Amino acid sequence: MAQEFWDDSNSRLLFEQANQEIGFDLSEVMFSGTEDQLKQTNVTQPAIFLHSVIKARSLAENFQPDMVAGHSLGEFSALVAAGALSFIDGLRLVIIRAQAMQKACELQSSTMAAVIGLEDSIVEEICDAIDQVVVPANYNCPGQLVISGSIEGVNIACDKLLAAGAKRAILLNVGGAFHSPLMEPARKELMIAIMAASFNEPVCPVFQNVDASPHTNPDEIRKNLIEQLTGPVRWSQSILAMIEAGASSFTEIGPGNVLQGLVKKINRTMVTSS
């Protein structure tokens, strides 16, 4: 993972800074660790963040996007790419975020499920009517919405959503109910770190998860980032808002190309690259 960037001296400096900040050899795990090692909470989020930042900086000497957005964890690397956060501050927040989320997951058994082939409004109505914690969490693309909540709440919702015409309702192999009210303990812990971090005015608008709107005011960015852990990822809405603001092509920066696929489903005429 990201080993192709090691020979670049600027990238190697970021690897070394990350290793020092996290307290173990993160780069070694990224390059040669097992799948189980990479899936550990204290590894996964910092590794993806590091990979994304390094890849962004490899695109150009003075990389400056016209606008940015990040899906959940990706919002942190997007903020670094836009200059709203320094690399070190972003990394520190990601490390705290991963640890806080893990602790919140251990407080109550919870889960998430992908709902395929149903209008967002129907999913919202069904979740609202259930007397358990279950909410829309990720608006990924038309016909694909992830719900999140207690195990009982998500199971009840899946049954009702299938009965309402969903093609599939698939339980996800995740550690907990991310982007739901069950992440409130993590939100409170992360809030302290976010309030202490230094935020700058970004070089371009940042379309944030919680409201799918462009932001350049550091105080607004900070507030929205605090709300992100318990609020939904409005990815479909963010992409449409970016297109409305003039985006004509998207470059995905990070491991994989999942977001390219989502963008194409949101707008089939859009040009994407990685």
Q: Where are the domains of the chain?
A: 3-105+181-273, 110-171
Q: Which two tokens stand for residue 249?
A: 């092509």
- Which superfamily is assigned to 110-171 in CATH? Malonyl-CoA ACP transacylase, ACP-binding (3.30.70.250)
pLDDT at 41 over 80: no
H/E element, 224: helix 218-227
Please state, in angstroms and rounded to a whole number, the distance separating the CA atoms of residues 84 and 46. Answer: 18
Per-residue pLDDT tens over the stretch 173-212: 888 999 999 999 999 999 999 999 999 999 999 999 999 9
- 27, 72, 236, 238: the catalytic one is 72
pLDDT at 260 over 70: yes
Mean pLDDT of 122-143: 97
Residue 257: what are its φ and ψ, rounded to 5°?
-140, 30
Predicted confidence band at 270 (pLDDT cuts at 50, 70, 90)? low
In the prediction, which pLDDT does 268 show? 76
Mean pLDDT of 59-64: 76
pLDDT at 271 over 70: no
- 11, 110, 148, 179: the catalytic one is 179
In the prediction, which pLDDT does 137 show? 98
CATH T-level fold of 3-105+181-273 = Malonyl-Coenzyme A Acyl Carrier Protein; domain 2 (3.40.366)
In the prediction, which pLDDT does 138 show? 98
Per-residue pLDDT tens over the stretch 62-71: 778 999 999 9
Question: For this structure, is 215 an active site residue?
Answer: no
Q: Of the candidates 120, 196, 188, 123, which has an alpha carbon nearest to the alpha carbon of residue 154?
A: 123
Residue 170: what are its φ and ψ, rounded to 5°?
-110, 120
In the prediction, which pLDDT does 132 show? 96
In the prediction, which pLDDT does 179 show? 97
In the prediction, which pLDDT does 135 show? 98
Question: For this structure, is 72 an active site residue?
Answer: yes
Q: Is 111 exposed, middle or buried (0-12, 13-18, 19+ CB in 10 A)?
A: buried
Neighbouring C-beta atoms of residue 271, cutoff 10 Å: 13
Predicted confidence band at 19 (pLDDT cuts at 50, 70, 90)? very high
The three-state secondary structure class of 185 is helix
Inter-residue contact 145 to 234 (CB < 8 Å): no
Q: Which two tokens stand for residue 93?
A: 């927040």
pLDDT at 8 over 90: no
In the prediction, which pLDDT does 67 show? 97
Least confident of 35-49, 114-128, 201-215: 35-49
Q: What angle is formed at CA 200 by the lines to CA 45 and CA 50, rounded to 5 degrees?
A: 20
Mean pLDDT of 247-267: 92
Please give the residue that has the higher pLDDT: either 270 or 98. Answer: 98
